[in-house]
Amino acid sequence: MLESVMKFRHRSAMRKPTYFCLSLSLVCICAASHPLSAQTQKPSKTRQFIYVLRLVPRLYSDSNWTKEDKAVLERHFIRFQEAIKSGQLILAGRTNEAGEKTFGIAIFEASDEAAARAFMQADPAVAGGLMIAELHPFAVALERKNP
C-alpha cells in the first residue's frame, strides 16, 4: 500500500511541472501572437517636421564666405549635433551640388507647428542670414537601422 501511495505521489509531482510548463508556454504563445491594438498604444506627444535649407545667393561661391559666415555655420552644425544627442533631430544633411542647386534638410520632432517653427528659426544659419528655411509637416515612413 505504501509503495502505491509513493508511486502516485511521484507521478503526481512529475505532472505538476509539466502542466505548469505547458500552461506557461501557452500563455506566452497567445500573448506574442496578439499584438497590442492601436487603441491601447500610447499616442505620440510629438510630430515630425522637415525644413529645407537653401543658401542665400551671396554664398553660392565658396570665395564669398567670410570668417564670420564660417563661424555661424559651425554653430549651426554644433546645434544639430546637440539636437541629435537630445533625440529631437532625426537626421540632417545636404546635397553635394554647387551654387543654387545645393540645399540641406533637417527632419526633427516638435510638439506642434509653432514649436517646429521656433526650432527652425533658432537655427544659427537661419537666424544669421546664411540660409533661408522652409518648414513642412513630415512623416518618416521607412527608416534603415544603423549598422
Q: How many helices (H) and strands (E) does the chain have?
A: 4, 4
Q: Any idea what the CATH number is for the domain that residue 96 is in?
A: 3.30.70.1060
Average pLDDT, the chain: 81
Examine residue 15 and state whether it is found in any structural domain, yes or no. Answer: no
Q: Residue 21's pLDDT band (boundaries 50, 70, 90)?
A: very low
Q: Are 138 and 107 in contact (CB under 8 A)?
A: yes
State pLDDT tens for residues 89-146.
Answer: 999 999 999 899 999 999 999 999 999 999 999 999 999 999 999 999 999 999 888 7
Query: Which structural domain range is residue 93 located in?
Result: 47-138
Predicted TM-score (pTM) of this structure: 0.68
How many domains in the chain? 1
Measured distance CA(102)–CA(99) in Å, rounded: 6
Examine residue 61 and state whether it is found in any structural domain, yes or no. Answer: yes
Element (H, E) at 94: strand 89-94
Examine residue 65 and state whether it is found in any structural domain, yes or no. Answer: yes
Examine residue 107 and state whether it is found in any structural domain, yes or no. Answer: yes
Examine residue 74 and state whether it is found in any structural domain, yes or no. Answer: yes
Examine residue 92 and state whether it is found in any structural domain, yes or no. Answer: yes
Q: How far is CA 78 from CA 6, 112, 139, in A?
A: 75, 24, 25
